[in-house]
Chain A
Amino acid sequence: MNIYVLMKRTFDTEEKIALSGGRINEDGAEFIINPYDEYAIEEAIQVRDANCGEVTVISVGNEEAEKQLRTALAMGADKAVLINTEDDVENGDQFTTAKILAEYLKDKEADLILGGNVAIDGGSGQVGPRVAELLRIPYVTTITKLEIDGSDVTVTRDVEGDSEIIETSLPLLVTAQQGLNEPRYPSLPGIMKAKKKPLEELELDDLDLDEDDVEAKTKTIEIYLPPKKEAGKVLSGELSDQVKELVNLLHTEAKVI
């Protein structure tokens, strides 16, 4: 089975966000594989182990993403592809990324494509479904279970807490929701092996795309931090009095009840 995973390098969830020159300050920040993409990688490895085949992890970004791609290889992916847009794309958006990924994937005859349902930085959740539409294959988002039998696929999808059981078939794109699996940590032998696994680096030119083809349709005009929240009132006295005071405050001062 020919399996691809779409992966994004993101800020560690532990990181605080600071601005410099109107942009997110990345200096000294820790980066990780987008946590939802980690579920996608784990699932891809499990599907391969059960069905044979090959897992290729793709990322669109700059050369820094090589580190996260190596981590994916250490987890057990077979190959990695970095589409380096650093020199060509200054301000891409989801249109840009999806177009590039679809252009890369269009002749790969992928049976299964997996990604996270959303990236924890940009938070748009667009790229997976966009890629599926560009490739004209079906997709199911926010999945919590994937069962493959030949080319028949049964997927469980999280829909605001309810579960839908969906029947579909390969080729298919799915996006991972929490609960899909428990991503493994790379083992030491895995890390050693990963160093020798193929990591291909491409640019737009290699995909016969130029900057205009992938020019963003949206533009960020300002980034700002939310107003810092002041610590509020910690109540004191008898617990029962505190509770009465709290209800009163919510009713008369905060006016939310």
Chain B
Amino acid sequence: MTEPQQPAESRDAQNDDSRSEAPTSTAPVQITPETDISTLSAAQLYDLNQEFLNDSVPTRPLVDTLVPMSVLREEYENGSGLFLQQIDELVEKGFKSIHRTRGDGDCFYRSLAFAYVSQLLASPDQAMSIATSLSLIESTSDLLDMAGFQKMVYEDFMESLTDIIKNVVGPDASGKKLDQETLLTKFQDAETSNYVVVYLRLLTSAQIRADPDTYSPFLFHPEAGVELEPREFCEAFVEATGREADHVQITALSRALQTNVKIAYLDGRSEKAEFVDFTNAVEPEMAPIHLLYRPGHYDILVPA
């Protein structure tokens, strides 16, 4: 079932734009394993892909438990050797484990948020790190206001993240302080997890809208290639649920959160998995968040 070049989970639901196909469904066509894929129309392929996604996507938690890289490696064992070399190279560099995330188009934002809070949890000076992080997030209200978002609309989303961060140093409603296990539970809870994702989407959008001179040259329709106004781009490709993030969004969010992000590209094109760096922390040497990118999907890389 798993294709070695691109595992099923790596294809995000919103990644496929053939969905702008026929609005009506007529008599269903019987598609069997013998059907030649090239004979299908774009609409049929879309349906097939959706079915496939519906089957495969809900099985994975929004953020999955930590597993060794060997689990990922197994999926590629019958495929291109370059993938295996890239995985092995990551392991050699010390990235021994991975939290995989659901391929629902929100995976970048979810991965980043999870890794961001994990980093706070692991901080040698938690009190200081939490205070800095909370004041930064609270200050994003100004940016969100400037972008024209209503407080009524964004405060719940923002609170979902600040509640988790506060929980690192103080007990939550259940009387417990946050640890890796409860962090995972929170990120597997659809309500909490999706609210955090929405906050990060709004923050990304606000960052782009606030600085059009910087971002305009990069705001293109991902498929059509036409230039877009910041507002158009943000509404369609940042704020909309399930739209995956690309370079512009990652840059904007890492700036807004003043954090360093390093993304390993696992693309099977060379022997080494190249890292792309987004260095936007006040102190450039601050330990970065590590993510793993495979075409259309992000997971969380964990050192050691």
User: Do A and B actually bind?
Assistant: no
Please report B residues at the A interface, Cβ cutoff 8 Å: none
Please report A residues at the B interface, Cβ cutoff 8 Å: none
